[in-house]
Amino acid sequence: EAQVTQNPRYLITVTGKKLTVTCSQNMNHEYMSWYRQDPGLGLRQIYYSMNVEVTDKGDVPEGYKVSRKEKRNFPLILESPSPNQTSLYFCASSREKSVPYEQYFGPGTRLTVT
């Protein structure tokens, strides 16, 4: 089954404790992206990657890191989480240069930072 998976689905952590949210897709997609969803703000892009070893900042990259060492995985790293990073996070992938650039979303990771 074609899908985007994220782990963990739920995470409660404390300020300053490094964490990683994993994202994996099995569709051989070139493009992957991370979003955060906050009430009243919709989805905002954190980082995206057009291909292996190519990553770029989105609209709200501060406090986050990503890596793209292989095509299928795109982990999101919070080196020192803070309470304002409490949010619902989505990973997405799409086949670059394939109109209409349909993005496939993972199920989401709900992060709470206390």
Partner 1 sequence: GEDVEQSLFLSVREGDSSVINCTYTDSSSTYLYWYKQEPGAGLQLLTYIFSNMDMKQDQRLTVLLNKKDKHLSLRIADTQTGDSAIYFCAEIQTGANNLFFGTGTRLTVIP
1: its two tokens = 């089954």
Give whichever of 20 and 51 is closer to partner 1, judged by the CB atom: 51
Distance between CA atoms of residues 52 and 71, nearest Å: 6
Q: Least distance to partner 1 from the beta carbon of 107, Å?
A: 5
Return the residue of 7, 58, 72, 112 that touches partner 1, per CB under 8 A: 58
The residue written with tokens 């300053």 in the block is 16
Spatial neighbors of 64 by CB under 8 A, at least 6 apart, are 34, 46, 47, 76, 77, 78, 85
- Does residue 70 touch partner 1 according to CB under 8 A? no
Q: Is 12 in the site for partner 1 (CB under 8 A)?
A: no
Residue 12 vs 14, nearer CB to partner 1: 12
Q: Which of 34, 35, 64, 74 binds partner 1 (CB under 8 A)?
A: 35
Contact predicate 61/47, CB 8 Å: yes
Binding of partner 1 at residue 74 (CB under 8 A)? no
Query: How many angstroms separate the CA atoms of 23 and 91, rounded?
Result: 6
* Shortest CB 94 distance to partner 1, Å: 7
Could you give the CA distance from residue 74 to residue 68 in angstroms, rounded to a whole number?
Answer: 5
Binding site for partner 1 (CB under 8 A): 4, 31, 33, 35, 40-45, 48, 50, 58-59, 90, 92, 94, 96, 99-103, 105-108
